[in-house]
Amino acid sequence: MKSRTLKNPEDLTEAGAARKPAGFRLADWSWSWSPRSEREAGDAVVTNFLLHWFPNKISLASLSVKYSFWLGTITAFLFFYLVFTGVILMFHYIPSVERAYASIKDIEFAISYGAFLRASHRIAAHMMVAMVFLHMVRVFLTGSYRNGGLARQFRPLNWWIGLVLLVLTLFLSFTGYLLPWDQLAYWAITVGTNIAQAVPGYGDEIRFFLLGGNEINQNTLIRFYVLHCMFLPLIVTGLFLWHMWRIRKDGMACDDRLALEERAQESRPTPSKTYSLLGVTAGRTATVEASLVDEDKHKVRAVPAVVRRITIVCLLTFALTSALAVWLGSPLEEAANPMVTPNPAKAPWYFLWLQELVAITTIRLGGFTINGGFLGGVLIPSAMLLWGFLTPFIDKSSRSAVGVWFSRERRLQNTIFIIVCLAVIALTYLGTYMRGPYWTVIWPWQAWPEFPPQL
């Protein structure tokens, strides 16, 4: 028999053996946990489908909890956990006005682990709204929507994708709110869609489009069901993948400074590799620049460093979600009844700041009334959204402020942003805990008055 000559002595190692094409191998999925050599760690990123989107090495700065608090990763985990629990719920839920409430009751009281599943889905949805908001706050306060001076970066795009993801997350949650078809669901959607009605000229059309008619009925339920279970999750998945790809292209904002600092004290020969046609390029890309950073000092291998951290973050999020699901459960009121209006009727909590704005800006001066529905429900939130989209252009701070928490240079921007965020949080708190019947303010030291529901 002819003996095999080994061109590469490394082929004798287990890493070499693992590199041979052998169809599906469990090892290809599991070895990434504890690679036995540098080579194996590098191979893991290339050969493992799930790890493919990581660079081979990642800076310690971008992995630091103090920088990102892993809020984006937590949001991503919650989204995929929602898809997982949601698909199981779909096996039991019936999107029909006559049967939806009964099917939720079955999930809650008859199906094994149904109550836990439903509560997990609901808690994860609330948490995702909160986490995506906090993630945006951290991105803003670190100025991570700006380019750091490396070639072919366009961070504003990822900021805009993020803003769309934020709005879609709110709509994902909003469309799910109606599905239990109980009083809470019915009236929250009534209030929510009434706010949309305040758009001048087209308000009625928008409400009609949202509800599939003039009132909440079977059309609305099936519309919200399809949006919630298919349409919005698919768009969010697509945008999420785009978001991640942009991060790979632009690099994490905190790494720009490191790359620029290294460039400043560079004593090495300039690399010629530019990844561009004929080497013609405006500068070095984030990937090339990052590869120049002193690896030993500032970087670790993505495998296992990132894999382990992501696993820990996901497990902790899962544990917290499960604990809250067991502790809080999920509410289920009486079946939806259009004839019985709860007092007060409240929008879902993340739209309560809008409901508050509508209430506060509705001012009557003699015979003259300022339309709060338009001012608070449409004009102010639209202006905020526009400000969000224009932010990367409005911010003229220098590149050294990119990826830095509370940079002195961005004091004004950060102060305005924090004030706006605190106002939104305060209004949400006011609407959630301090608004009683007829939308009167009930202070913590006052007793909560009992009013019969309005018939």
Angle of helix 155-177 relative to helix 218-226, nearest 10 degrees, comes to 140
Pick the closer one to ligand HEM by CB: 95 or 403: 403
Q: Which is nearer to ligand HEM, 155 or 207 (CB)?
A: 155
Specify the 3-state DSSP secondary structure of 440: coil
Return d(Cα 293, Cα 274) in angstroms, integer. 16
341 bridge partner residues: 454
**According to CB under 6 A, which residues from 369 to 408 bind ligand HEM?**
403
Rounded to a whole number of angstroms, the minimum distance from the CB of residue 243 to ligand HEM is: 5
Is residue 159 near ligand HEM by the rule CB under 6 A?
A: yes
Nearest Cα neighbor of 51 from 319, 311, 240 is: 311
Q: What is the DSSP letter of 179?
A: T
List the one residue from 19, 57, 121, 135 that touches ligand HEM (CB under 6 A): 135
Nearer to ligand HEM, 136 or 427 (CB): 136
Least Å from the CB of residue 38 to ligand HEM: 25
CB-closest chain residue to ligand HEM: 162
136 binds ligand HEM (CB under 6 A): yes
Binding mask 232-271 for ligand HEM (x = CB under 6 A): ----x---x--x---x----xxx-----------------
Asked if residue 73 binds ligand HEM (CB under 6 A), the reply is yes
> 62 or 183, CB closer to ligand HEM?
62
Comparing CB distances to ligand HEM, the nearer of 6 and 390 is: 390
Q: Is 158 in the site for ligand HEM (CB under 6 A)?
A: yes
Q: Is 435 in the site for ligand HEM (CB under 6 A)?
A: no
Minimal distance, residue 313 CB to ligand HEM, in Å: 9
Is the distance from CB of 163 to CB of 342 less than 8 angstroms? no
**Of 68, 148, 138, nearest to 397 (Cα)?**
148
* Pairwise CA distance, residues 139 & 388, whole Å: 12
DSSP-derived letter for residue 230 is I
| Alpha-carbon distances, residue 215 vs 187, 208, 338 (angstroms) | 11, 8, 10
Nearer to ligand HEM, 172 or 216 (CB): 172
DSSP-derived pairing of the beta strands 299-301 and 57-59: antiparallel
Q: Which stretch binds ligand HEM (CB under 6 A): 20-28, 48-56, 63-71, 429-437?
A: 63-71
Q: Which is nearer to ligand HEM, 28 or 255 (CB)?
A: 255
Q: Which is nearer to ligand HEM, 310 or 434 (CB)?
A: 310
Q: Is residue 33 within 8 Å of residue 51, measured between CB atoms?
A: no
Other CB atoms within 10 A of residue 238 CB: 10
H/E segment holding residue 59? strand 57-59
Of 11-19, 71-79, 100-108, 338-346, the window that binds ligand HEM (rule: CB under 6 A) is 71-79
d(CA 153, CA 141): 19
User: If you ran DSSP here, which 8-state letter would residue 272 be given?
Assistant: -
Please name every residue paired with 369 in a beta bridge, in sequence order, or none if there are none. Answer: 364
**Considering only residues 75, 183, 190, 414, which one is a binding residue for ligand HEM as defined by CB under 6 A?**
75
How far apart are CB 396 and ligand HEM at their closest, in Å? 18
Q: Which is nearer to ligand HEM, 145 or 181 (CB)?
A: 145
Q: Which two tokens stand for residue 275?
A: 């990844």
Tell the smallest beta-carbon distance from residue 176 to ligand HEM (Å): 15
- Interface with ligand HEM (CB under 6 A), residue total 30
Closest CB 52 distance from ligand HEM, rounded Å: 15
Q: Cβ neighbours of residue 326 under 8 Å, at least 6 residues apart?
A: 116, 119
Q: Which is nearer to ligand HEM, 163 or 324 (CB)?
A: 163
CA gyration radius for the chain?
A: 26
CA angle (130 as vertex; 432, 164 as ends), nearest 5:
115
- Phi and psi of 285, rounded to 5°? -70, 165
Name which of residues 404 to 423 contact ligand HEM (CB under 6 A).
Answer: none
* Closer residue to ligand HEM in complex, CB, 142/197: 142
CA angle 255, 259, 260 (to 5 degrees): 115
- Minimum CB separation of residue 209 from ligand HEM in Å reads 24
Nearest alpha carbon to residue 256 among 152, 407, 398, 403: 403
Q: What is the nearest approach in angstroms of ligand HEM to the Cβ of residue 403?
A: 6
Cα gap 188→177, rounded to integer Å: 8
Q: How far is the CB of 133 from ligand HEM (least distance, A)?
A: 8
Residue 163 engages ligand HEM in binding (rule: CB under 6 A): yes
State the residues that interact with ligand HEM by CB under 6 A.
68, 70-73, 75-76, 79, 132, 135-136, 139, 144-145, 155, 158-159, 162-163, 165-166, 169, 236, 240, 243, 247, 252-254, 403
